[in-house]
Structure 1
């Protein structure tokens, strides 16, 4: 089989949505004639925002995995701020910004370009070059964030002449929390130049949504646009073969993952509060993951008659079990610039669960189109509380469905891996 080298910072035992994409691609690629060799960071030295040891069991014994040391600049952030946790994307696990946090973000934005995990690059490059020579590998995939990983691919392309595929799960200098890093004009210029070099010099670019393709195409012009393929995230059918947990007579609205101030809840909460008290008392609002104290207080004050269930962070299998137990699944796109292309990876697991999706976000977004295509629920503008309340009443009356199963199968990890394998085998 054709061997390819996959360079990824996030790999089990890292948790969170980012690790799922290439964990699942490597699972299914051998079935399409491609043998992945994975290069990642030593987990004992890595700075993962979340860990999920259970995902180690999903790595195929046939997948060759190599780990290298790293120099973690995020350790300096922890020392400077006194925090015990690495910040999540968008700083969703951080409370009200303190002076020290602001200072740390300024240091990160102006001195650690493109990001603090670039301390891994020199170790990863050295090992990647060794593996390329050992296995005769001619195709390398770098996946980000962290976008510093793309600079490893850039250097390998220049030094060894390999074919380089840059898989970019998120925008780079247009990511919604970019302005929170207080870049100077010089730092922004340096970062944008690095971004443009990656866009121009990669042989192939892969993104997860059409609007992210638009963002990168506008930066690089027609030459870049022509080499971008959209291969979205998806769901693994095998993850949903577990039995659903025991039923409940409650109406359970489930939200999984992180949440921050930009994930506007006020319209949804107003809709929930407008329901008759007896319906509110029948409802459970479940947060699977971390919720900042200020947002939790907002929720409790807005809907005091609704039961709030906080599970904390759970492993992936347990997260899927909560989806299977849900009556309705809540999904929120942050209200930020360039949010039309944000399609959270969890959407596809929501889709696979067969439970209706209540999404909040901009009309005309890639997510709105996917929901319309699959018929799995509805997307509402953040303030459309009347329409949201109507949707909730429909759910409480048992009138909602989870979408078109045949359409949903287009987003299975196996189907998407076939598309990725065609890209790997193309010239």
Structure 2
């Protein structure tokens, strides 16, 4: 599906949007629910990723196809390894077979897991024969994707002796690790995180409880971008959010003050207000090691505002749904800007014009589609394969129509 996007008649938007539950929290709670059926979940994400996670957890034997869902691949690898009697082949899309899994597989094998590669060593598909894991000490490089770490931590309380995980080196994506541990704590599972060592105690049963998923801050980022690119006086209210969020991307509230956007918390709602114009040609530098998923949104916001930026801490973006750094370079260059990327950073020069009717390729990456959509406030553009947003935010285009964006299939 190819969409043509155009700006609303007024650039002073005032509306409210309810955003689906966090994909990150939903997938963590779904794994915990599989281990502890007494857990009930409210406000679960309606994303493709959450759906394939749910479907995967229901399979005991045979093939489990998680398509593009990287989180599900990591979490289910750990889950099935510890489930005695279950035997599966875990696979996914072509891109998924190019995304490394070796670090997690080796960690699980050191605990006693029976995992083998079906095709290429270090990459899915993988064959897993579930068994009781009695070893409890393991180490991982600290600068890898937090999903590898969380995969082990979520399975840990169901292991006979729990888990003692040592992280070697400087830790990145700390908020996502802390999110996982906080959810374990909410479920009554004892854990600690001191220095570079994380300990999770074993737990046989948890009491009946209902765990509520906060709405997704990554999804909120696109509305932050819209407000930043609109006129002073724009207000968009989003729900349901917590001031003391577990999600690393909640740093948006602080970052977007540099784009003239104020965040007001009221109960479980946030109101995004554009309160000042930004000087074209100005520049910002950010380290996004703890929130890499908002890098695309921020880079596009800067481009739309005629700002320069230097974004660091982006090493995990090379192995996402696509190589997000190279994809950003390609698509922003089409629009008329100068951008340079390394394997962990992005540098964008301030631009004074945006080319009209450019077609943005999305590379099977939901965030490419949604990050570029706000630019329609500045110039008409096309989004190719726009349906990819269903991975994390199926209602995205419908919600943009509520803001009176022009959206037509072409």
TM-score computed with the length of structure 2 as normaliser: 0.32
| Greater relative contact order (CA < 8 Å, ≥ 6 in sequence) | 2
| Higher relative strand content | 2
| Higher relative helix content | 1
